[in-house]
Amino acid sequence: MLRAGFAAFNRGDYESWIAAYDEDVEFHDLAETPDTRLFRGHDGIRAWLTKLQEAWGEGFRFEPRSFTEGDGVVVVDTHAIGTGAGSGLPIEMPVYIVLRFRNHKVVWTKPFMERADALQAAGLQE
């Protein structure tokens, strides 16, 4: 399910990607981004996507490298790749995404720049 979700996001099939999220999902922005905030629900995810595309264009993608699973939670080690929409400058960086699940839907998600922070947020250890 997670791999299919990342594949849908990366090919621009955003509605299929959003369908994996609960209607009341708490979708946190990366703390290091300008104007970071919490987005709620499917409309919130769409607003986050608009914000992402305004900064990085439509070709931004997250390539999953590994999955660390716990009880109802997964940390996904991704390689984020994009090009600045205004600057044209490329970006590549690791992003660790924590996803909490209930009834096979994502109910909470938050990205981190550091793996240790993501594991701590997920209640997991190396």
Global confidence as pTM:
0.93
| pLDDT one-digit tens code per residue, 63-109 | 999 999 999 999 999 999 998 888 888 989 999 999 999 999 999 99
Over residues 49-69, mean pLDDT: 91
SS (H, E, C) 61-118: EEEEEEEEECCCEEEEEEEEEEECCCCCCEEEEEEEEEEEEECCEEEEEEEECCHHHH
Percent of the chain's residues with pLDDT above 90:
79
CATH for 2-122, among 2.60.120.920, 3.40.50.300, 3.10.450.50, 3.40.50.2300? Answer: 3.10.450.50
